[in-house]
Amino acid sequence: MTVALGLWLLVDASSQLRRRWEVLPTALLGVATSLWAGGEFLIVHAQEPGEAVLGRRLLYLGTSVLPIAWAYTAAEAARPRWFRHARWLAACVALPQAVLYALLYTDAHAWFVHLTQKPARFGPLFPIHVALGWCLIAVGAVYFVRAATRMGKAHPLRIATISIGTALPFLGNLLYLATGGVERHPDPTPLLLGLGILAIRFAVIDSGLTAFLPIARSDVVEQLHTGVILADLEGAVVDANPAAVHMLGDDDLLNADLDALVARLRVDAGHAIEVEVLPVSSASGPAGRCAVLNDRTEAQRTEQQLQQAQKLEAVGYLTAGIAHEINNPLAYLNANLGSLEELLLGLDDAAVQRALGAKYEPLAAEAPELVTEMRDGLDRISRLVERLGRFARGSSSDTLSGPVDLCAVAERAGALAGVGLPCGAIRTRLESARPVQANEDALVQIATNLLVNAVQASGASPDIEVEVRPDADGVALIVHDRGPGIPEDVLPNVFDPFFTTKRPGEGTGLGLSLSFDLARRYGGTLRATPRPGGGTSFTLWLPASADASA
């Protein structure tokens, strides 16, 4: 019966699905109980000295291991401060018992026990072995009581069960030794210990202290993408599923402080983790706390993309409205400039200029040239407004509108990006090249994005060059700047959506990403490389049109 009870304890402990070795002490309780009872059985029924030797070695292996496993299991339940941070101290407790048990193989003078004599003849070290064992069992009982008290489960019946579960095998063993029944009849202590362990298991362990989840539910939790962290009532982590380990980036969460982990997740700027801390209860009352973690980083990124798309749509409508509003005063200016031009042309007469006097004569001489410059400026504004309107209307970049000359694209983009810049801030170096098959407005958008970024990176003194030249089987449009450059570790990310090195509020991080996608749509590439001497070069390469000649 005792062996069966010990094996049941072993199977029961093994059935608790755990990923750590802390289940070992509970399993050893069943093994040690079975060894003790099995050794007693062999000694009582031994017919030869060898059988008695084997029986004593099994018996005292059980009596050596059982108190250690008992105390360790109780410490796992109570989790005193020293146990959380210095579990290696528990190994020191096992050393005396290990040394005493080693005498069964090395002691020729029977300092512990005579291996073959029947009835047993004990040496002077035997009482030490017994005392050490019962001291460990007493310490374990105290920790079990502390565990029940800490959990708010100090019901009189539970405390009485723990006390009886500890005292019964102790009193049984004491009575067995006092009546001189040593190795004459089977020792009832293993059976009483098994019953005591069983009682404590239901009084403390099954009340929610060490086993939180049955196997089926634990399997599901292990496979969830939602992180789950379990902690005892003191906040020490006792388990975590793989998703939680991945979110925290820490493989060793055992005994970590749950509140500290939650605080760390909430201030993590690189990830958006939703954390909910819930109480864990068993049938007997509170058993601990549980933190549920949901990684919303990707969902938040998608929301930001949608928000940026809505902003871009609003910008498009706003641009169309601005272009319309600018067209009205442009019409007035053009009409009035025509009338003013007729008047100023009359000032070209030398006699009229002399009549104006020395003060106005130089201005009258320059009047035709001023009118020409004004006309050029208005034409430039008109072209810009027209391009803004086309951009706002969203000329489909999916429609290939025919061969496009990248030199013309570079000139249009330079005119757009050069508004307000000093003369010569954007220089062009254009070589004759074959046209490419793409949408011209889309290519102007790409080139403009590159030039605007170059202007912003250059600071107060832009030094930008736009180059167009044949390249392999295609044509390359290259924008060179002399800004601070892009660090090597940042280069692989510059085309990622919403990635930007600009300060908050100065950029959306979408310009290069959209340009990269447009270039790829037309079979081309867009890449960034450091520029010798400082700065960056962005190269847009597109395949040359197959049906066009150079």
Per-residue DSSP letters for 243-276? HHHHHHT-S--TT-BHHHHHHHHHT-TT--EEEE
Whether residue 323 sits in one domain with residue 288 = no
Q: Which of 268-277, 373-382, 432-441 has the highest mean pLDDT?
A: 432-441
Whether residue 266 sits in one domain with residue 225 = yes
Q: Does 227 map to a domain? A: yes
Whose tokens are 């095998």? That residue is: 169
DSSP 544: B
Would you say the pTM of this structure is higher than 0.75?
A: no
Which residues are registered as beta bridge partners of 277? 291
- Rounded-to-integer distance, Cα 233 and Cα 280, Å: 9
**185, 207, 229 - which closes a domain:** 207
Whether residue 18 sits in one domain with residue 143 = yes
Q: Which of 81-90, 199-208, 276-285, 541-550 has the highest mean pLDDT?
A: 276-285
Whether residue 201 sits in one domain with residue 219 = no
CA atoms within 13 A on the CB side of 422: 9
- Rounded-to-integer distance, Cα 344 and Cα 356, Å: 13
Q: Does 300 map to a domain? A: no
The better pLDDT of the pair 399, 448 is held by 448
Whether residue 457 sits in one domain with residue 344 = no
Structural domains in the chain (count): 4
Per-residue model confidence as pLDDT tens digits over 146-176: 766 655 444 566 666 666 666 666 677 677 6
Mean pLDDT throughout 125-141? Answer: 84
Whether residue 119 sits in one domain with residue 175 = yes
Whose tokens are 């962005």? That residue is: 538
Q: Does 301 map to a domain? A: no
- Rounded-to-integer distance, Cα 205 and Cα 227, Å: 25
Beta strands in 269-362 (DSSP E): 273-282, 285-295
Q: Which residues of 409-447 are buried (b: 16+ CB within 10 A; e: fewer)?
A: bbbbbbbbbbeeeeeebbeeebeebbbbbbbbbbbbbbb
pLDDT over 70 at 226, yes or no: yes
- Rounded-to-integer distance, Cα 467 and Cα 428, Å: 6
Least confident residue range of 106-120, 172-186, 247-261: 172-186
What H or E segment, with its residue span, contains residue 455? helix 440-458
**207, 239, 254 - which closes a domain:** 207
pLDDT value at residue 242: 86
Q: Which residues of 242-265 are buried (b: 16+ CB within 10 A; e: fewer)?
A: bbbeebbeeeebeebebeebbeeb
Whether residue 377 sits in one domain with residue 320 = yes
Per-residue model confidence as pLDDT tens digits over 378-436: 877 777 677 666 656 655 445 556 789 999 999 988 887 887 788 888 999 999 889 99
Q: Does 304 map to a domain? A: no
Whether residue 358 sits in one domain with residue 265 = no
Q: Does 306 map to a domain? A: no
CATH number for position 227: 3.30.450.20
Backbone angles phi, psi at 228, to 5 degrees: -130, 125
Burial of 117 (0-12, 13-18, 19+ CB in 10 A): middle
Q: Does 307 map to a domain? A: no
Average pLDDT, the chain: 75
pLDDT over 80 at 12, yes or no: no
Contact 11, 31 (CB under 8 A): no
Mean pLDDT throughout 277-304? Answer: 78
Q: Which residues of 202-213 are buried (b: 16+ CB within 10 A; e: fewer)?
A: ebbbebbbbbbb
**295, 323, 345 - which closes a domain:** 295
Contact 422, 390 (CB under 8 A): no
Concatenated DSSP letters of 482-509: -SS---TTTGGGTTSTT---SPTTS--S
Whether residue 261 sits in one domain with residue 202 = no
Whose tokens are 């049938």? That residue is: 283
The torsion angle over the Cα atoms of residues 99, 104, 110 and 111, rounded to 10 degrees, is: 10
Whether residue 403 sits in one domain with residue 380 = no
CATH number for position 67: 1.20.1070
Instruction: For residue 231, give both structure tokens.
Output: 């902690």
pLDDT over 90 at 479, yes or no: yes
Per-residue model confidence as pLDDT tens digits over 201-222: 555 554 444 444 444 455 567 7
CATH number for position 452: 3.30.565.10
- Rounded-to-integer distance, Cα 408 and Cα 132, Å: 94
Per-residue model confidence as pLDDT tens digits over 315-327: 666 767 777 777 7
Shortest CA distance to 511 belongs to which of 257, 265, 357, 308?
308
Contact 544, 537 (CB under 8 A): no
Shortest CA distance to 467 belongs to which of 542, 549, 539, 544?
539
Whether residue 360 sits in one domain with residue 507 = no
Whether residue 373 sits in one domain with residue 430 = no
pLDDT over 90 at 333, yes or no: no
Domain that includes residue 264, residue range: 215-295
Which residues are registered as beta bridge partners of 476? 469, 541
pLDDT over 80 at 99, yes or no: yes
pLDDT bracket for residue 41 (50, 70, 90): confident
Q: Does 407 map to a domain? A: yes
pLDDT value at residue 214: 44
3-state helix, strand, coil in the chain (%, to 5): 60, 15, 30
Least confident residue range of 88-92, 138-142, 232-236: 88-92
Sheet architecture: strand order including 536-543:
426-430, 464-471, 474-480, 536-543, 525-530
